[in-house]
Structures are given as structure tokens and as C-alpha cells.
């Protein structure tokens, strides 16, 4: 079997631009003995699974005959196989990467009569973040060239801090909301979202910037130095920071930056 080639998710998606049709199921609810909970413990926790399979050709005969035939993938069976693979894993603890690969294998087996171009599995832990909406891992694999991507992410982490150029903003902390993606993550670091969130929170809490640009750049630099360089070298960081209280008649202004790893 050819060795897997790790790509940035954006690059991997560009390689899949010629994929024609996709079938997906979103937010399948399971109890997974995988990852770590918000306290860093290896205990069962709720997880939401999203599975997407990509076909290299249109599902023409299924569309023309209005039937679920061998040109497509039955999304009901896809859902059941994903859930069943988690249930059959038993009491042994799995890393998030192990879980994602288990589900990818089940999806591939379910679609055995169809030539798949790619599969993407998103494992989301809604209780995996102390101050945010959750944490997760997105694992993508293309079967033709054996390219993959791995992205650890934190969703909507809310942290109060001093931020703003106006005089009244210097008097009281206000919330900023940060979402973070670490791309090209090392395989053995897919459960480090608690450590990453703690670094993210500490950096924002202790800051006192006037602009979101300075805040976002400083946060990413700290993550690069404190996590990526020493723990997951080669990874890249994308950060989106919003300031929901800043503009009365808008949801929030936002800054989003991407920084690539530099040895």
C-alpha cells in the first residue's frame, strides 16, 4: 500500500475539484469511547459524526431510474455503518484519529460496490471545550493518490479581555469569540484540543490590545511557539476572532488569519 501523503486541507480540497457527486450524513449522534473530555480524561463522551463520500462519476443511473442502485451510496446504510462501527469498537479507548479512520473504513466498506474518489469524516465533541461550542477533528482521504488531511479545531471559544480603541473599551473586559484550526497536525496529537484551548484562553485573557489584528497575530504566534514548533512541527494555524459587542447593528466584526509553519 502506498504511503499516505499529508496535505493542507485547502490543497486536498483543490485536488478533489473534479469530483462530481457527493453523499453525506451530518451530525450522527453517538457515545464514543474516544478522544478526551474537557478535563483531559479518557472517558466515554457524546460525539457528532459527519461522513461525506465523493464519487468520481455522476450517479446517473440512480437519477434516471429514480432508484438507489450501484451508481450511488445508500445514505441510510452509510449512517448505520458509521454508528455500528463505533458500537463495535468496544470498551477500548480510541484516539480521535483512530475513531475517524474506523468510520472511514466502515464508509468505504458500505460503498464497496461504488468506486469512491474520497471520504471525509468529521468527529465533533460538543463537550470537548470548556468555554466554546466544542472541539473536533476532520480527517479526509483521497483513494486515488492516497492523499490525506488532518485538521484539529476549536469552535467558538468565548473569552473576555480588554480589546478596542475607544476609551470606554479600555475600562471593561468584553467577550471575543475565537475559532481555531490546526492543519497538517501530527497523527499522535489529534487529542490535544484541551491543551490548545488552554493556551488560546490564557493568551487572550492576559492581552490588552486595541485591535483584533494584533490580538489574532499574537495568539497564533504563541500557538506556533508553544504547540506547533515543539509538539506538532509542520502544522499550520488558522484563527478567526470576532468581537460581538463592537458593532450594535451587526453580528460582529471579524479577523481571520492563516500562518504556515516555518522551521
Residues 222-234, mean pLDDT to the nearest whole number: 93
* Residue 202's CATH number: 3.30.1130.10
DSSP string, 101-134: HHHHHHHHHHTTTS--SEEEEEEEETTS-SSSSE
For the stretch 244-263, pLDDT in tens is 987 887 888 999 999 999 88
Q: pLDDT for 11-54, tens place per residue?
A: 999 888 778 899 999 999 999 999 999 999 999 999 999 999 99
Tens-place pLDDT, residues 133-154: 999 999 999 998 899 999 999 9
The closest alpha carbon to 113, from 64, 63, 53, 65, belongs to 53
| pLDDT tens digits, one per residue of 109-142 | 998 767 899 999 999 999 999 999 999 999 999 9
Rounded distance between C-alpha atoms, residue 108 and residue 230, angstroms: 35
d(CA 97, CA 44): 16
- Domain coverage including residue 118: 5-259
Domain count, the chain: 1
Put simply, whether the predicted model's pTM sits higher than 0.85 gets the answer yes
8 A C-beta contact, residue 226 and residue 217:
no
pLDDT grade for 195, boundaries at 50, 70 and 90 = very high
pLDDT above 70 as % of the chain: 99
User: Looking at residue 43, what DSSP letter applies?
Assistant: -
pLDDT (mean) for 238-249:
89
Spell 148-182 as b/e; 16+ CB within 10 A means b: bbbbbbbbebbbebbbbeeeebeeeeebbbbbbbb
- Report d(CA 4, CA 14) in Å as an integer: 17
**In angstroms, what CA-CA distances link 9 with 13, 14, 183, 185?**
6, 9, 7, 11
The predicted pLDDT at position 17 comes to: 78
Residue 1 pLDDT > 70, yes or no? no
Write down the pLDDT at residue 101: 96
pLDDT of residue 19: 82
Amino acid at each position: 500500500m502506498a504511503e499516505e501523503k499529508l496535505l493542507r486541507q485547502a490543497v486536498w480540497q483543490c485536488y478533489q475539484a473534479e469530483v462530481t457527486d457527493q453523499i453525506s450524513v451530518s451530525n450522527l449522534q453517538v457515545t464514543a469511547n474516544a478522544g478526551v473530555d474537557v478535563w483531559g480524561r479518557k472517558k466515554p463522551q457524546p460525539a457528532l459524526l459527519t461522513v461525506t463520500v465523493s464519487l468520481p462519476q455522476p450517479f446517473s443511473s440512480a437519477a434516471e431510474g429514480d432508484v438507489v442502485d450501484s451508481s450511488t451510496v445508500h445514505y441510510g446504510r452509510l449512517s448505520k455503518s458509521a454508528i455500528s462501527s463505533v458500537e463495535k469498537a468496544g470498551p477500548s479507548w480510541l484516539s480521535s484519529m483512530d475513531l475517524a479512520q474506523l468510520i472511514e473504513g466502515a464508509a468505504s466498506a458500505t460503498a464497496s460496490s461504488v468506486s469512491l474518489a474520497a471520504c471525509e469524516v468529521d468527529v465533533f465533541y460538543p463537550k470537548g471545550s470548556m468555554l466554546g461550542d466544542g472541539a473536533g477533528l476532520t480527517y479526509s482521504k483521497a483513494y486515488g493518490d492516497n492523499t490525506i488531511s488532518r485538521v484539529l479545531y476549536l469552535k467558538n471559544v468565548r473569552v473576555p479581555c480588554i480589546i478596542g480603541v475607544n476609551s470606554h473599551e479600555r475600562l471593561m473586559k468584553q467577550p471575543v469569540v475565537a475559532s481555531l484550526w490546526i492543519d497538517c497536525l501530527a497523527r499522535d496529537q489529534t487529542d490535544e484540543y484541551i491543551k490548545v484551548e488552554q493556551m488560546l484562553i490564557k493568551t487572550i485573557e492576559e492581552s490588552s490590545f486595541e485591535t483584533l489584528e494584533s490580538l489574532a497575530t499574537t495568539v497564533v504566534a504563541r500557538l506556533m511557539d508553544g504547540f506547533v514548533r515543539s509538539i506538532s512541527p509542520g502544522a499550520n494555524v488558522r484563527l478567526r476572532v470576532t468581537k460581538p459587542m463592537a458593532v450594535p447593528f451587526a453580528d460582529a466584526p471579524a479577523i481571520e488569519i492563516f500562518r504556515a509553519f516555518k522551521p
